[in-house]
Structure 1
Amino acid sequence: MTSCITYNMDRLFEAVAAKGHVCVGLDTSTEYIPPAELKRASSAAAAVLAYNRALIDASLDVTACYKVQIAYYEELGLAGLETYAKTLAYIRERGGLIIADIKRGDIADTASRYAKAHFDGDFEADFVTLSPYMGMDSIEPWLSWAKTKGKGAFVLMRTSNKGMRDFEYQELKTGGRLYDAVGDRLSELAAAHLGSHGYGAFGAVVGADPKSGAEREEAAAIREKRSNLFFLIPGYGAQGGGADDAALLLRNGNGGVVNASRSILRAWSSTGAANSFAEAARNAAVVMRDAIKAALNPGKK
């Protein structure tokens, strides 16, 4: 079923086609900011905001979207939440797309209020991340925003963290693993809310952890089976995933964004370019973009 509304997932598909697959994670800790920049700022929250704005300005033309992890702002208290809101507003002002990494997973009225908080007002984002483990009634309250405003979400399916096998890989009595059951429901949801580029309004989080042998086959099978799900792909860079791992989860040169946070935020520290930290971040994003493109087209130089 094709909707007449323009989903944000369509916009993200088009951003990937134009700019590449990089999603810059603004998980901005003061630990990631050059000491001189911290000293120059009036507060930790002000330093984070100035740093974010500089990185956004430097990377916007090579970045499909920005993922902003709210925990890094919550830890700074009210000033941090103000910085969070101002960061989202700045991305929007510059024409970028925003994934609010909030991993909400509650139900009913609570979920509806979370949705209003993060799809409207001071904390408005284009996409959010959601946890499905209380059931589909933790996802459904967000859907009205897709139907009316084109908003999107990425639902945790098969992640890239150390403990992913604790629950996601549990075998079900009906066959398959728990993450397969999540994928089945998300594929059904996508089919009912399909955008103009063949992907559902809501996609899935599928990690690009390092793979070989059977794990590579598993990743390829997930991509083939979930053809109507756009993927948010974490695990690149500091978590150990590489371009080849990410490429397994892409489809026809698109179908996903690949997130990197620390490897871009802290690029200045590995190059010794603290005075040009924004340029270092941009260069890291370009290297990542080109590596993914090369992995998708191994026969081309």
Structure 2
Amino acid sequence: MIIMDRLYNEAVKKGPICVGLDTTLKFLPKYLLDKDWSDGEKITEFNKKIIDATEDLAAAYKVQIACYESLGLDGMKAYSETVKYARSKGIVVIGDVKRGDISSTGDQYAKGHFTGDFEVDIMTVNAYMGEDAVSPYYQYIKENNKGIFILQRTSNPSAVDLQNLEVGADTIYEIMGDKIEAWGSAFRGENGFSAIGSVVGLTRPDEFEAIRARCPHTFFLVPGYGAQGGTGEDIANILKKSRCAVVNSSRGLITGHQKAGCEDEGFAEHIRKATLAMQEDILKWL
């Protein structure tokens, strides 16, 4: 079973929820901030409590490495401990690292995130340098059951500046989708999806629906839910046709305790409630 089959099966069983652990100190409850620990230790404890509270709801966890890199070695230790802890639960972990380089540099990125202290199951990749930025990961997809999500149509407003430019009859993001389908053709699993997936935002659901129809073998990581405006109904209209995606929410979930005014050790229960509400908001439309 390839990694994308695992993710697909979890998304069908639990619901298509990806909990984003894009954790910074401003999200921590006061009781943790007041502890005589390093910043990395505080973030690790916060993340572990969230994982414990949501492991039965999350099809995957996405960990944004920039939040940890900014704290130096202490932060990178927190990143390592977070991904190891989530993977120990048997849940798919996505390293949101957006690497995008070629040749020997790409080889080192693949080794750095698919083995060792920072090992994840799937990593995000920027392939706007072409297949040379993707091929370093093929070995790990084949031999280590890893996967990648390639940026295709992102959720940020200025994505239209480049991704929506037309080349002949197609937009650049449509051409990228065709490439992702082609690159992934050798890595398809039992559910028909490739271990090479795509990142497509939920902020333009009409575009997403057209992408899904054009890329039938691509599994999607979908940002843009909640804080960026995407709704459960938006994604459900796509999932009714194909259970082809997991939907990420980061600050919309991990600030659940702040919205409830909770600053004590019970914070994780509020994050669980926010995750349940997201699950319900999507599944009620299916």
State the TM-score bracket (shorter-chain normalisation). over 0.9
By how many angstroms is 1:164 displaced? 0.8
Candidates 136, 139, 142, aligned match of 1:144 = 139
CA contact (8 A) 1:41 1:47 kept: no
By how many angstroms is 1:248 displaced? 3.8
By how many angstroms is 1:251 displaced? 5.5
1:197 aligns with 2:187: no
**Identity value in percent:** 40
By how many angstroms is 1:36 displaced? 1.9
- What secondary structure, in the 3-state scheme, does the structure 2 residue paired with 1:181 have? helix
Q: Name the CA distance, whole Å, in 1 between partners of 2:249 and 2:146.
A: 23
CA contact (8 A) 2:98 2:126 kept: yes
1:67 aligns with 2:56: no
By how many angstroms is 1:280 displaced? 0.6
By how many angstroms is 1:191 displaced? 2.1
CA contact (8 A) 1:66 1:99 kept: yes
Q: Name the CA distance, whole Å, in 2 between partners of 1:146 and 1:12.
A: 14
- What secondary structure, in the 3-state scheme, does the structure 1 residue paired with 2:56 have? helix
Cα offsets for 1:64-86 (capped at 9, x unmatched): 00000000000110010011001
Cα offsets for 1:249-280 (capped at 9, x unmatched): 43545211000000111001111233321011
- Partner residue, 1:184: 178
Q: Name the CA distance, whole Å, in 1 between partners of 2:242 and 2:257.
A: 30
Q: Name the CA distance, whole Å, in 2 between partners of 1:221 and 1:99.
A: 25
CA contact (8 A) 1:127 1:154 kept: yes
CA contact (8 A) 1:59 1:282 kept: yes
RMSD of Structure 2 on Structure 1 (CA): 1.2
- Partner residue, 1:259: 248
Q: Name the CA distance, whole Å, in 2 between partners of 1:47 and 1:86.
A: 12
CA contact (8 A) 1:68 1:99 kept: yes
Candidates 73, 87, 93, aligned match of 2:88 = 93
Q: Name the CA distance, whole Å, in 1 between partners of 2:143 and 2:122.
A: 14
CA contact (8 A) 1:129 1:153 kept: yes
1:223 aligns with 2:212: yes
Candidates 113, 122, 125, aligned match of 1:127 = 122
Q: Name the CA distance, whole Å, in 1 between partners of 2:28 and 2:206.
A: 39
By how many angstroms is 1:245 displaced? 2.1
Q: Name the CA distance, whole Å, in 2 between partners of 1:28 and 1:136.
A: 31
Q: Name the CA distance, whole Å, in 1 between partners of 2:26 and 2:228.
A: 18
CA contact (8 A) 1:203 1:230 kept: yes
TM-score, normalised via structure 2 length? 0.96
Cα offsets for 1:5-56 (capped at 9, x unmatched): x211010011111111110000000000112211125121111000000000
Candidates 51, 56, 66, aligned match of 2:46 = 51
Q: Structure 1 stretches (4+) deviating beyond 4 angstroms?
A: none
CA contact (8 A) 1:223 1:251 kept: no
Aligned residues: 285
- Partner residue, 1:80: 75
- Partner residue, 2:280: 290
Q: Name the CA distance, whole Å, in 2 between partners of 1:9 and 1:73.
A: 26
Q: Name the CA distance, whole Å, in 2 between partners of 1:116 and 1:251.
A: 37
CA contact (8 A) 1:222 1:249 kept: no
* Code of the aligned partner of 2:55: L
- What secondary structure, in the 3-state scheme, does the structure 2 residue paired with 1:203 have? strand
